[in-house]
A and B are shown apart, each in its own frame.
Chain A
Amino acid sequence: MRDPRDFDSFYLGTAPRVTSQLYAMVGNRADAEDIVQEAYARAWQHWDRVSGYDSPEAWVRTIAFRIAVSTWRKAVNRLRAYRRHGAPDSLPGADPDYVAIVAALRRITPEQRRTVVLYHLVGLSVAEIATETGVAVGTVRARLTRGRQALVPHLSEYAAELSAPEPEVAHHG
């Protein structure tokens, strides 16, 4: 039996966070909000099952990312537009460093970007990312290392941190 109060509580408590995480992945506020709301709608659609998961939030985030990838694939022109426009949409009051980071994230591959976001923003361990993304731990490490390296040319201010060897990025587990 789906309990709407249970779902509403979950949605209100997690949606802003998931939206901000997805924004870091897609770089567009409106898209991030639309995709996340669609993902939560699907969560409600299957709430009797999803609510029993260890982390319904991880389920929503995974679905949201899949929707984002699907949207990219369907809208190649839009993807090209993303590439043409170097900077993300304007964020009134946003920290310039954050805007620069999101812009840089859009310049690396979606797999690397997802891994970097899950690791550095969501705070998952390498093993947890492997589980959430369905790839081997070694693949996660490779994507993380290469993703950080790929960010260096676009984030010179953080070049020292991003160029750090693997042990430096192993503190999550």
Chain B
Amino acid sequence: MNNWNKLRRKSINAIMLTLTGLCTLFAAGTLVYILGYLFVHGAGSLNWSFFTQLPRPVGESGGGMANAIIGSAKLLLLAACIGVPIGFMGGVYLAEFGGTTFSFVVRYVTDLLNGVPSIVMGIFAYTLIVLPRRPGFSTFAGGVALGVMMIPIAIRSSEEFLRGVPLSLREGAMALGASKSKAIWTVVVPAAKAGLVTGIMLNLARVAGETAPLLFTSFGNQFWSPGWKQPTAALPEMIFKYAVAPYDDWHQQAWSAGFVLLTLVLAVNVIARMILAKRGPAAR
């Protein structure tokens, strides 16, 4: 009787442990499969003209997505110009100056803003910029949408990395007669520099893949988009448009674009995580 019970418990043990292992295998396997499939399909159809040529009209084969690559770069630049300074300064406030009540409110609202679906952010930018025609569908509107999305993550990551700097460094600087702000700019921020920069990189990599907020802000464009006031193509938005279109040629282009986008995003992530890992778990 006792033996039978023991056997039962042991076999449940073995079965369940195996099952959890299988769950892990599934999750990790998915990534490997995604990567493999994209590499095979995307890299195969990738060629030089993808990076240098404009999209061709339907029916003509060839062409590329040069305008979308430049468009994405411009959008990200604008987003960084909005999101990074505000997020960084906000993080400095929370880590260095913040009291209790207001900081709590800011943290809470930041987390809420971070949880807002990206498509809702798109509506926000639309009602703010596109609807009143200042200046309508444009690189500017898309950049603002992405920039606002960067702020909450930038705040939380810079706060975290600044908090990781030991208190003794601040005390040392202030004991030498530095004012609080001087101590922050010359001692604390440089000490947290690697973390801050990787935080920005991860943040950019995240918004680089955002499609939903661009659909009704930067809108898309088959041609070059000079300046900031015209609709522009962007890589993720092109992937969407080309993937749902019924043309085989476009599907191939979508795979190439997906391959390029995913390679960039994952490369940034891997590099950033390696930098963070080198700095030890405390820095995360």
- A associates with B: no
Chain A interface (Cβ < 8 Å from any Cβ of B)? none
Interface residues of B, Cβ cutoff 8 Å to A: none
